[in-house]
Structure 1
Amino acid sequence: MSREIIAILRGVKPDEVQDIGDALVDAGIGMIEVPLNSPDPFRSIGILAEALSGRARIGAGTVLTPEEVNALNGTGGTFVVSPDCNPAVIDRTKALNMGSYPGVATPTECLTAVRHGADGLKFFPAFLIGVKGLAAIRTILPQGALTYAVGGVGPDNFQDWFDAGATGFGIGTGIYQPGMSAMTVHKRARAIVAAYDGAVKT
């Protein structure tokens, strides 16, 4: 099954990223984000894109400028995630035929992102918006809009977020922290996938 889970590898290093990427894919996760405030992020993205070609989508996170979108283009990365809703970033991302997932927290930001062609909305930080906040905003979004809860979400509350209208999740420290072994990442990822699958079925 296709799972709307984005694994966020903030702080990952190029010399470890392939093993961690393999562990994530083996556990059932098919979207991997390397934030740009990680060590040598474009190199890590390139390594993952080559090693996991056809098995996972690889993208950049914490993308703040069109210039960073340009730098991602050609590394093999295929999507852009931002902590904010910057129309210039969205426009450049779509011009380069990559997926756009801007950060949003208000109806204005959501609809601005949609109007500029965003592929999915990253509700960040989700713990501030809350499930009631997402449920309220969901009523004004176009039908079928993809919504990802990021920040303070995990296996223990997936069901609450699904019930509020979330279609997926971004998981950071719950799945990876700097220095963590690929084996530990695999164990955490399997638990997250199991909880996600269980919530989807209920």
Structure 2
Amino acid sequence: MTDLLTHLRRTRLLAILRGVPPQHVPKLIETLLGAGIELFEVALSDDLGLPGLRAARAAFGPALPLGAGTVVTPLLAWQAHQAGATFLVTPHLVPEVNAYAREQGLGLLSGAFSPGEINAAYQQGSAAVKVFPAGVLGPEYFRQLRGPYPHLPLLAVGGVDASNIRAYLDAGAVGAGIGGALTRTDWNNPDWAALGRTAADIRAQAGEPR
């Protein structure tokens, strides 16, 4: 499988599936793939997460780059690994989860906020550091970080959508994680066409994969 950082640099987008009913996860991923999005994270912040992760892995097999998000304990890290995750994503710095990812050879996108946390996340093995919540910090925060930390790959997550993704990329982020903008629909009657159009718009704003 392509190295996680290489994949992020090439595609620039990570789709975050949070609160998606497991029976709809395969169709949503198929819709996003059709719009050119290739990297996926299923958030484990509710009871839908682990079943959704299993549904995605069962539907697409081992080739799909598939992460588990909101991994805040070693137990969740283990459960995500067993469910088929190939990389782990944390909302903040969780050294125990980061250590598990290293030990198991999993990819890692560790969350961080301050410069000290960002550097620690990178030192603990994060392929790219998930700077969260990006919407509060704004693109200028990323631009300022490029001065002292030009070597640190930064992923903008939280509050990123088609209207501002270009600004984060231009400020030096290697990519962006996008959740609500890609999953906002009535899950009792999903509008797949609308979801596909939104995904294609975000893909266009990010630019084609390199």
TM more than 0.5: yes
Q: Indicate which of 187, 192, 197 corresponds to 2:202.
A: 192
Other-structure match for 2:24: 16
AA at the equivalent of 2:163: D
Q: Tell me how far apart the structure 1 counterparts of residues 200 and 177 of structure 2 sit (CA, whole Å).
A: 15
Q: Tell me how far apart the structure 2 counterparts of residues 128 and 160 of structure 1 sit (CA, whole Å).
A: 14
3-state SS in 1 of match to 2:84? coil
1:94-105 → structure 2 map (5 Å cutoff): 94-105=102-113
AA at the equivalent of 1:112: A
Q: Tell me how far apart the structure 2 counterparts of residues 152 and 118 of structure 1 sit (CA, whole Å).
A: 21
Question: Is this contact kept in 1: 2:18–2:49, CA < 8 A?
Answer: no
AA at the equivalent of 2:191: S
Shift of 1:146: 2.4
Question: Is this contact kept in 2: 1:90–1:100, CA < 8 A?
Answer: yes
Match status 1:117 vs 2:128: no
Question: Is this contact kept in 1: 2:19–2:48, CA < 8 A?
Answer: no
TM-score for both structures, normalised by structure 1: 0.90
Q: Indicate which of 151, 165, 173 corresponds to 1:166.
A: 173
What 5-or-longer segments of structure 2 have no aligned partner? 1-6
Question: Is this contact kept in 2: 1:21–1:52, CA < 8 A?
Answer: no
Q: Tell me how far apart the structure 2 counterparts of residues 148 and 158 of structure 1 sit (CA, whole Å).
A: 11
Shift of 1:66: 1.2
Q: Tell me how far apart the structure 1 counterparts of residues 72 and 35 of structure 2 sit (CA, whole Å).
A: 30
Shift of 1:136: 1.6
AA at the equivalent of 2:24: E
1:50-89 Cα shifts (integer Å, max 9, x gaps) = 3223653111111111111011112221111111011111
Question: Is this contact kept in 2: 1:113–1:121, CA < 8 A?
Answer: yes
3-state SS in 2 of match to 1:174? helix
Q: Tell me how far apart the structure 1 counterparts of residues 126 and 203 of structure 2 sit (CA, whole Å).
A: 25
Other-structure match for 1:41: 49
Question: Is this contact kept in 2: 1:123–1:149, CA < 8 A?
Answer: yes
Question: Is this contact kept in 2: 1:101–1:120, CA < 8 A?
Answer: yes
Q: Indicate which of 70, 86, 92 corresponds to 2:94.
A: 86
Q: Tell me how far apart the structure 1 counterparts of residues 80 and 30 of structure 2 sit (CA, whole Å).
A: 21
AA at the equivalent of 2:160: V
3-state SS in 2 of match to 1:69? helix
Q: Indicate which of 75, 85, 90 corresponds to 2:83.
A: 75
Shift of 1:191: 1.0
Other-structure match for 2:69: 61
Q: Tell me how far apart the structure 2 counterparts of residues 120 and 69 of structure 1 sit (CA, whole Å).
A: 18
Shift of 1:142: 5.4
Q: Tell me how far apart the structure 1 counterparts of residues 69 and 191 of structure 2 sit (CA, whole Å).
A: 21
Question: Is this contact kept in 2: 1:155–1:192, CA < 8 A?
Answer: yes
Question: Is this contact kept in 2: 1:69–1:92, CA < 8 A?
Answer: yes
What 5-or-longer segments of structure 1 have no aligned partner? none
Question: What is the RMSD of the two structures over their aligned residues, measured on CA atoms?
Answer: 2.0
3-state SS in 1 of match to 2:160? coil
